[in-house]
Amino acid sequence: MDLTVESLIGDPLLRTRIVAGSSGLDRAVAWAHTCEVPDPWNWLGSGDLLMTDGYGFPAEPQAQVSFIRELAAANIAGLALGEGFAAPPLTQEAIDTAEELGFPVLMTARSVPFVTIARVVAEATNGRGNGRAARVLRLYDILRRSHRAPTSGGLLAELGDELDADLHVIDLTYGRELMPVRRPLSEAVRSAALERVRAQDGRLPAFNRLTEGGMSVLLLPVGTSDSAGLVVREKQGRDAPDLIVAQHAAMIVELEVERRAAKASRARERGTVLARRMLDGNIGPEAASAQLRAHRLGTGPWRVTAWSGGASQSTANGTLTNPLTDALEFVPWPHLYLCAAETHLVMLEDSVYQEGLKLDHLEMSMGASQPLSSPTRFSDAVREARWALEGAVAAGEATAVYGARGSYFMPRTVAEGEVAVRQLLGPILDYDEAHDAQLLRSLQVYFEVNRSWQEGSRRLDVHKQTLVYRIRKIEELTGVDLRDFGVQAELYMALKTWRLLHAT
In this prediction, residues 269-279 reach a mean pLDDT of: 92
Q: Which of 105, 124, 143 is where one domain is finished?
A: 124
Q: Are residues 139 and 119 in the same domain?
A: no
Domain with residue 207: its CATH number is 3.30.450.40
- At residue 230, the 3 state secondary structure works out as strand
Q: Are residues 230 and 162 in the same domain?
A: yes
Please indicate, yes or no, if residue 238 is contained in any of the structural domains: yes
Kindly tell me if the per-residue pLDDT of 409 is higher than 70.
no
pLDDT digits (tens, 9 = 90+) for 421-463: 777 788 888 888 888 888 888 888 888 888 888 888 888 888 8
The least confident of 153-157, 228-232, 364-368 is 153-157
Quick one: 107 exposed, middle or buried, by C-beta within 10 A (0-12, 13-18, 19+)? buried
Please indicate, yes or no, if residue 447 is contained in any of the structural domains: yes
Alpha-carbon gap, residue 409 to 440, rounded angstroms: 21
Q: Are residues 99 and 143 in the same domain?
A: no
Domain span at residue 83 reads 5-124
The least confident of 51-65, 124-138, 189-203, 377-391 is 124-138
CA dihedral defined by 403, 407, 412, 417, rounded to 10 degrees?
-130
Residue 461: partners with Cβ closer than 8 Å, 6 or more residues away: none
Backbone Cα Rg of the chain:
33
In this prediction, residues 109-114 reach a mean pLDDT of: 89
User: Could you tell me if 455 and 448 are in contact, meaning their C-beta atoms sit under 8 angstroms apart?
Assistant: no
Q: Are residues 187 and 221 in the same domain?
A: yes
Domain with residue 18: its CATH number is 3.40.1390.20
Report how far apart the first and last C-alpha atoms of the chain are (Å, whole number).
Answer: 73
Place 315 in a pLDDT band, splitting at 50, 70 and 90.
Answer: very low
Q: Are residues 224 and 109 in the same domain?
A: no
pLDDT digits (tens, 9 = 90+) for 179-192: 888 788 888 888 88
User: Could you tell me if 297 and 349 are in contact, meaning their C-beta atoms sit under 8 angstroms apart?
Assistant: yes
Question: What per-residue confidence (pLDDT) applies to 407?
Answer: 47
Please indicate, yes or no, if residue 480 is contained in any of the structural domains: yes
Supply the mean pLDDT for the chain: 83
- Of 97 and 137, which is predicted with more confidence? 97
Kindly tell me if the per-residue pLDDT of 477 is higher than 70.
yes
Q: Are residues 394 and 447 in the same domain?
A: no
Please indicate, yes or no, if residue 313 is contained in any of the structural domains: yes
Q: Are residues 296 and 363 in the same domain?
A: yes
Q: Are residues 17 and 83 in the same domain?
A: yes
pLDDT digits (tens, 9 = 90+) for 46-67: 889 999 999 989 999 999 999 9
Q: Are residues 384 and 485 in the same domain?
A: no
**Phi-psi group of 49: left, alpha or beta (phi > 0 → left; psi -120 to 50 → alpha; rest → beta):** beta
In this prediction, residues 347-375 reach a mean pLDDT of: 85
Q: Are residues 486 and 424 in the same domain?
A: yes
Question: What per-residue confidence (pLDDT) applies to 316?
Answer: 39
Closest CA to 77 of 123, 46, 117, 40: 46
In this prediction, residues 96-113 reach a mean pLDDT of: 93
Closest CA to 191 of 210, 214, 205: 210
pLDDT digits (tens, 9 = 90+) for 67-99: 999 999 888 999 999 998 989 999 999 999 999
Alpha-carbon gap, residue 146 to 467, rounded angstroms: 68
For every residue of 169-228, which 3-state class applies, written as one string?
EEECCCCCECCCCCCCCCHHHHHHHHHHHHHCCCCCCCCEEEEECCEEEEEEEECCCCCE
Please indicate, yes or no, if residue 336 is contained in any of the structural domains: yes
Query: Number of structural domains, the chain?
Result: 4
The model's pTM: 0.57
Place 313 in a pLDDT band, splitting at 50, 70 and 90.
Answer: low
Q: Which of 124, 149, 167 is where one domain is finished?
A: 124
- The runs of H, that is alpha helices, within 230-316 are 243-280, 285-294
Place 319 in a pLDDT band, splitting at 50, 70 and 90.
Answer: very low
Residue 206: partners with Cβ closer than 8 Å, 6 or more residues away: 42, 43, 220, 221, 247
- Of 318 and 283, which is predicted with more confidence? 283
Place 326 in a pLDDT band, splitting at 50, 70 and 90.
Answer: confident
The least confident of 46-60, 237-251, 255-269 is 237-251
Please indicate, yes or no, if residue 276 is contained in any of the structural domains: no
Question: What per-residue confidence (pLDDT) applies to 318?
Answer: 44
Please indicate, yes or no, if residue 266 is contained in any of the structural domains: no
In this prediction, residues 463-490 reach a mean pLDDT of: 82
- At residue 47, the 3 state secondary structure works out as coil
Cα within 13 Å of Cα(81), Cβ side: 22
Question: What per-residue confidence (pLDDT) applies to 223?
Answer: 72
Q: Are residues 341 and 432 in the same domain?
A: no
Q: Are residues 360 and 443 in the same domain?
A: no
Kindly tell me if the per-residue pLDDT of 401 is higher than 50.
yes
Kindly tell me if the per-residue pLDDT of 346 is higher than 80.
yes
Q: Which amino acid is at 120?
A: V
Q: Which of 401, 426, 444 is where one domain is finished?
A: 401
CB neighbourhood size of 363 (10 A):
8
Residue 363: partners with Cβ closer than 8 Å, 6 or more residues away: 323
The least confident of 142-146, 254-258, 297-301, 465-469 is 142-146
